[in-house]
């Protein structure tokens, strides 16, 4: 046991070594004394014969050490001591790095979770969205989803393809569930056979739909989401086989999807099967989203080719009814444009995220430059120490390593703090649901983000340690030693720091210009007339009346009318109305071609597609949408089912030249329907968002059809109520009472104000704006600190020179000017370089801009002026100090 | 520059001499130095201190072992002993050294080639 302890206890071993050496020296001394030498002489001689005692001891100890590692730890200990000894420097440096790394890690975690991680399905690379375009179909470009699939198209693709494992179509929607608690409108996904098979996520309970569940008029089935199962059935496993009243129709629960399963990016409550009646299908009906899993190894191009091959088969197999030409769709030039499902889920958010990531990266660079500058100043003040170390035989590599270890330590400590900040940052970032960010629920700080933060810490530590290490650990140290005590600073040394400040300024210009462009974009958006007014005072809600609850279309219309009337009696309500959707709500819209009576069309021509909206009398007035010519619809016309319609201003101009000319003209959707008279022209409405051009719209009544049959009533409507009380809880309760006094089985869904809808539609812009503004502000602050630091440092270094100048008769104003000029010169160079870079880089964010050019001279000029002003201000403080230098004091001090 | 101070011996020579001395009899550091100096007839300049790093190296490699004991002059000293591995190592070193020496002698000897 004793020897073991000896072996492992180095401290003891070292003690023994010292003892041994001491004994050695004593023995020798004793011997020499015995030989007749004096004690003093003997000690001296013994030491001389022995050589350097501590070196020998050190070398002997080294035998037991892992030298490089232990030297490294010594460097670390030394670095920590240096950091501790300069708490102010360390605090500033740490904070700068922590904020930089924290912001970068937070944004990276979003980029990673949203853009980089694969979708949460088995073999997600095989999943595609069946996107199609139709360049020949005029007007289609106004619709968000390209050309969706018709049921007949789906059947053709599903049966004739050679490249898919499984394929299906789906449709988002809502359903009213009654009989469980209060009537509730829930989120439903309608899916055809093949959709769940393509996604390939096994149910947690029960089974998927099979073909047998999708026969028209067959047994009605239903699947639940995990969340809905927990919420409404308390996670009861016996739910499979139970009946649920969905849209007043009994459906049997056959399965529950597992926890965490999301349909593309949607949370949902129910999955309801689509049941197409083959016998009744026609070519048209392009309203379904297609999704498929391709066979392994099949490329996108092959799938596109396969679908192109099937399009003629589709046209040959179906028709739009007797005496129609099925090949009329050839004029549409339908082109498959399959997308990976991930791209479909992400939409256009990736641009925003990459721009934000790049921006934050630039901020990090400025932060690094600042810390480098701090380090340079500090190393400069430590020159004596470094020179002494070098003179005493510390190799310059070792000194450089020491400096690097110190800066990397700083980086790592900043990184740890930064990760803490990032945890908070991600919460803040994600809380408001920015930019309608997809996959929001998946965002978290995972191993990859931590790895990113670690790499960033080490890299930035190396980066800002490298410049001082290269500059000061070099072989010129003897020079420094010789000039010790003198504070003359070579021009060359300033060059590095000026370079840093110039690059900080340049990056700050880039960031602030980007932020400025976003501000201008936001301003431009605000000046756009969206086609409605007073959004905060416009209360919205959505009500669906299923045909199983109320069968007759006329009853539906009367109930809707009664709801509007009842809402109108609530105190504080100015008016109320309803429409198939509000602008920017983002529901899949209804559209078709429209024929004008006074135009002629050839047989194989489909006129441009127009957006259709179905509105109630009073809706336009409620929404604040102006009627430019003619008048609004009346209830008499609705109940009389008068063939009347309204059109948007741009449609009126396109078809008839002017709004007033359009009134009294006639148009129709199908050759079989009567002509509809245009009774009014409505101002253009930015249906697809403020940035998007206003589509051409035809406004119809909500109850259509011939007077002599029941016709067709639109059952899911957004109700709009104009009131100053919009959005308050009391108002909501009164709204609910009003609706339930008409029919107590009607749930209220999507209750919100128009302002919320508007904010959501500009969320991408405002998110980018906020992020860039934060980055721009940080850049400006860091850049200002940088320029202030450099100027005040040079001033402190030049005190002697300034003192001499003043003694020789220079005016104090001249000194002030001299220092200011230096600051201005640095700022000007930085700003000029920054503008050159920004001119190129802002091009990359063009798609995020609106109403402003990527090279907007106003923004560029404003940013340049602001930065130069701030730089002058930052140099003014040290310049004043320089001006107040007392030559007597300085010169005497020297 | 300063780390490898002017050394008159080639690397490993000191170790070899220590092992050889210890083969004759176990010894403590000071006696070891005196022994080597004496046997080399003071021809070799050995800094006494350099003995200790060498001893530590040998200890670490297991070529010698050390035990605290009392010297003939009644001092508490660490006495080093050759181990079996040390003896074997010494043999190898000596034979390779002799080969080297022979080679060098051939080269340096005038006339022969």
The predicted complex's ipTM stands at 0.82
Q: Are A717 and A542 in contact (CB under 8 A)?
A: yes
- Residue B47: pLDDT band (50, 70, 90) is confident
- Residue B111: pLDDT band (50, 70, 90) is low
Neighbours of A659 (CB within 10 A): 23
Which of A23, A24, A51 faces B50 most closely, judged by CB atoms? Answer: A51
CB–CB contact A27 B56 (8 Å): no
How far does B34 lie from chain A, in Å, by closest CA?
10
Give me A142's structure tokens: 């106004």
What pairing do the DSSP bridges indicate for beta strands A573-579 and A627-630?
A: unpaired
Nearest residue in chain A measured CA to CA from B53: A60
Distance CA(B107)–CA(A840), nearest Å, equals 73
Provide, as residue numbers in chain B, all residues whose Cβ is less than 8 Å from the Cβ of A21. Answer: 29, 49, 52
Best mutation target among B30, B63, B68 (most A Cβ atoms within 10 Å) is B30
From A198, A280, A270, select the one nearest A239 (Cα to Cα): A270
CB–CB contact A20 B77 (8 Å): yes
Instruction: Give pLDDT, residue A493.
Output: 59
Chain A touched by B47 (CB under 8 Å): yes
Q: Are A567 and A619 in contact (CB under 8 A)?
A: no
CB–CB contact B48 A50 (8 Å): yes
Provide, as residue numbers in chain B, all residues whose Cβ is less than 8 Å from the Cβ of A16. Answer: 78
Using left for φ > 0, alpha for ψ between -120 and 50, and beta otherwise, residue B41 falls in: left
Nearest residue in chain A measured CA to CA from B57: A63
Give me A8's structure tokens: 């492992």
Summary mean pLDDT of chain B = 80
Q: Are A576 and A721 in contact (CB under 8 A)?
A: yes
Instruction: Give pLDDT, residue A3.
Output: 47
Using left for φ > 0, alpha for ψ between -120 and 50, and beta otherwise, residue A393 falls in: left
Mean pLDDT (whole number) for B11-23: 85
CB–CB contact B75 A23 (8 Å): yes
Provide, as residue numbers in chain A, all residues whose Cβ is less than 8 Å from the Cβ of B67. Answer: none
Provide, as residue numbers in chain A, all residues whose Cβ is less than 8 Å from the Cβ of B77. Answer: 20, 23, 27
CB–CB contact B56 A55 (8 Å): no
> In this structure, what DSSP letter does residue A671 have?
T
CB–CB contact A28 B30 (8 Å): yes
Chain A touched by B73 (CB under 8 Å): yes
CB–CB contact B52 A57 (8 Å): yes
From A583, A565, A581, select the one nearest A573 (Cα to Cα): A565
> In this structure, what DSSP letter does residue A476 have?
T
Instruction: Give pLDDT, residue B2.
Output: 38
Residue with tokens 């539906």: A556
Chain A touched by B48 (CB under 8 Å): yes
Provide, as residue numbers in chain A, all residues whose Cβ is less than 8 Å from the Cβ of B53. Answer: 56, 59-60, 62-63
Instruction: Tell me the mean pLDDT per 10 residues along chain A, length 894.
Output: 52 78 85 85 85 78 71 81 82 87 89 86 92 79 74 93 93 83 85 92 89 80 92 89 87 91 86 88 86 93 93 89 80 88 83 87 89 83 76 72 87 92 82 67 84 92 85 58 48 72 89 90 89 93 87 93 95 94 81 86 81 94 94 93 93 93 91 88 92 90 82 91 92 92 87 89 83 85 82 80 84 86 89 93 86 91 92 87 79 66
Which of A20, A57, A59 faces B29 most closely, judged by CB atoms? Answer: A20
Torsion angle, alpha carbons of A167, A187, A696, A598, to 10:
80
Nearest residue in chain A measured CA to CA from B34: A28
Instruction: Give pLDDT, residue A667.
Output: 93
Distance CA(A807)–CA(A815), nearest Å, equals 12
CB–CB contact B49 A28 (8 Å): no
CB–CB contact B77 A393 (8 Å): no
- Please state the length of chain B: 113
As to burial, measured by CB atoms within 10 angstroms (0-12 exposed, 13-18 middle, 19+ buried), residue B2 is exposed
Nearest residue in chain B measured CA to CA from A17: B52
From A509, A572, A463, select the one nearest A776 (Cα to Cα): A509
pTM exceeds 0.80 for this model: no
Distance CA(A356)–CA(A374), nearest Å, equals 27
Instruction: Give pLDDT, residue A655.
Output: 92
Nearest residue in chain A measured CA to CA from B32: A24
CB–CB contact A56 B73 (8 Å): no
Q: What domains appear along chain B, each with residue ranges and CATH number?
A: 13-108 (1.10.10.10)
Neighbours of A414 (CB within 10 A): 29
Q: Number of H helices and number of E strands within chain A?
A: 29, 26
Nearest residue in chain B measured CA to CA from A392: B2
């Amino acid at each position: 046991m004793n020897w073991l302890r000896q072996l492992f206890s180095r401290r003891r071993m070292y003690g023994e070594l010292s003892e041994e050496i001491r004994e050695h020296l004593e023995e020798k001394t004793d011997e020499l004394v015995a030989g007749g030498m004096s004690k003093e002489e003997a000690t001296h001689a013994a030491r001389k014969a022995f050589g350097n005692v501590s070196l020998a001891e050190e070398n002997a100890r080294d035998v037991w050490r892992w030298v490089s590692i232990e030297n490294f730890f010594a460097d670390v200990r030394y670095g920590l001591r240096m950091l501790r000894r300069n708490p102010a420097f360390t605090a500033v440096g740490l904070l700068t790095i922590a904020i930089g790394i924290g912001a970068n890690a937070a944004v990276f975690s979003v980029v990673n979770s949203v853009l980089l991680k694969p979708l949460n399905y088995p073999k997600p690379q095989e999943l595609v969205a069946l996107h199609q375009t139709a360049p020949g179909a005029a007007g289609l470009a106004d619709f968000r989803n390209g050309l969706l699939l018709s049921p007949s198209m789906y059947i053709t693709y599903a049966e004739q393809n050679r490249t898919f494992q499984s394929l299906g179509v789906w449709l988002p929607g809502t359903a009213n569930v009654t009989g469980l608690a209060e009537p509730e409108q829930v989120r439903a996904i309608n899916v055809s056979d093949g959709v769940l098979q393509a996604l390939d996520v096994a149910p947690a309970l029960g089974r998927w739909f099979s073909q047998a569940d999708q026969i028209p008029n067959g047994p009605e089935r239903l699947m639940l989401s995990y969340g809905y199962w927990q919420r409404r059935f308390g996670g009861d496993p016996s739910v499979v086989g139970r009946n649920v009243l969905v849209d007043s129709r009994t459906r049997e629960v056959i399965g529950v999807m597992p926890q965490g399963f999301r349909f593309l990016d949607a949370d949902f409550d129910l999955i309801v099967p689509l049941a197409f009646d083959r016998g009744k299908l026609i070519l048209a009906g392009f309203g379904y989203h297609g999704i498929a899993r391709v066979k392994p190894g099949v490329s996108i191009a092959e799938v596109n080719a396969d679908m192109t091959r099937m399009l003629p088969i589709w046209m040959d197999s179906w028709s739009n009814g007797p005496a129609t030409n099925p090949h009329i769709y050839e004029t549409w030039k339908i082109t498959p444009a399959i997308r990976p499902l991930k791209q479909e889920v992400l939409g256009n958010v990736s641009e925003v995220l990459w721009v934000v990531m790049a921006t934050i990266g630039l901020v990090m660079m400025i932060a690094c430059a600042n810390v480098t500058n701090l380090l340079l100043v500090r190393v400069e003040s430590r020159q004596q120490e470094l020179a002494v170390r070098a003179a005493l035989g510390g190799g310059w590599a070792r000194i450089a390593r020491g400096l690097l270890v110190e800066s990397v330590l700083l980086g790592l400590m900043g990184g740890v703090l930064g990760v803490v900040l990032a945890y908070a940052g991600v919460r803040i970032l994600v809380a408001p649901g920015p930019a309608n960010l997809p996959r929001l629920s998946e965002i978290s700080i995972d191993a990859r983000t931590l790895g990113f933060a670690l790499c960033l810490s080490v890299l930035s530590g190396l980066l800002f340690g490298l410049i001082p290490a290269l500059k000061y650990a070099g072989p010129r140290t003897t020079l420094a030693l010789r000039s010790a005590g003198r504070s003359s600073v070579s021009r060359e040394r300033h060059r590095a720091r000026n370079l840093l400040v110039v690059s900080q300024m340049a990056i700050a210009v880039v960031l602030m210009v980007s932020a400025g462009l976003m501000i201008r974009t936001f301003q431009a958006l605000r000046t756009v007339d969206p086609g409605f007014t007073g959004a905060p005072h416009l209360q919205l809600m959505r009500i669906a009346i299923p045909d199983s609850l109320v069968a007759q279309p006329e009853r539906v219309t009367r109930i809707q009318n009664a709801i509007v009337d009842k809402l109108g009696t609530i105190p504080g309500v100015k008016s109320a109305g309803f429409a198939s959707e509000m602008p920017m709500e983002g529901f899949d819209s209804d559209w078709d071609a429209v024929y004008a009576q006074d135009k002629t069309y050839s047989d194989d021509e489909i006129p441009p597609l127009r957006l259709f909206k179905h509105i109630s009398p009073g809706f336009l007035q409620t929404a604040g949408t102006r009627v430019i010519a003619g008048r609004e619809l009346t209830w008499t016309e609705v109940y009389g089912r008068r063939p009347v319609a309204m059109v948007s201003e741009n449609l009126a101009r396109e078809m008839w030249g002017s709004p007033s000319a359009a009134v009294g003209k006639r148009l129709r959707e199908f050759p079989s329907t009567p002509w509809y008279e245009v009774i009014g022209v409505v101002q253009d409405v930015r249906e697809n968002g403020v940035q998007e051009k206003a589509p051409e719209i035809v406004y119809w009544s909500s109850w259509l059809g011939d007077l002599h049959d029941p016709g067709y009533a639109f059952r899911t409507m957004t109700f709009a109520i104009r009131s100053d009380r919009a959005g308050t809880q009391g108002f909501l309760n009164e709204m609910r009472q009003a609706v339930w006094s008409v029919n107590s089985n009607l749930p209220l869904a999507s209750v919100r104000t128009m302002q919320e809808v508007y904010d959501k539609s500009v969320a991408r812009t405002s998110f980018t704006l906020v992020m860039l503004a934060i980055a721009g502000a940080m850049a400006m602050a860091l850049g200002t600190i940088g320029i202030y630091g450099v100027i005040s440092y040079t001033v402190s270094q030049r005190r002697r020179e300034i003192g001499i100048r003043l003694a020789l008769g220079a005016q104090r104003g001249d000194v002030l000017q001299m220092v200011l000029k230096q600051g201005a010169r640095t700022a000007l160079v930085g700003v000029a370089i920054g503008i050159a870079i920004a001119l190129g880089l802002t091009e990359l964010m063009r798609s995020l801009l609106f109403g402003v050019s990527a090279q907007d001279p106003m923004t560029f000029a404003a940013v340049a002026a602001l930065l130069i002003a701030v730089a002058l201000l930052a140099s003014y403080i040290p310049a004043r100090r320089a001006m107040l230098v007392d030559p007597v004091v300085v010169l005497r001090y020297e | 520059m300063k780390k490898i101070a002017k050394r008159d011996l080639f690397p490993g020579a000191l170790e070899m001499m220590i092992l050889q001395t210890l083969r004759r009899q176990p010894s403590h550091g000071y006696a070891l130095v005196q022994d080597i100096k004496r046997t080399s007839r003071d021809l070799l300049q050995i800094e006494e201190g350099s003995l200790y790093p060498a001893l530590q190296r040998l200890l670490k490699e297991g070529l010698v072992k050390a035990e605290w004991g009392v010297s003939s002059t009644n001092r508490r000293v660490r006495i080093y002993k050759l181990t079996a591995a040390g003896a074997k190592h010494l043999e190898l070193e000596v034979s390779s050294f002799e080969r080297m020496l022979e080679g060098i002698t051939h080269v340096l000897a005038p006339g022969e080639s």
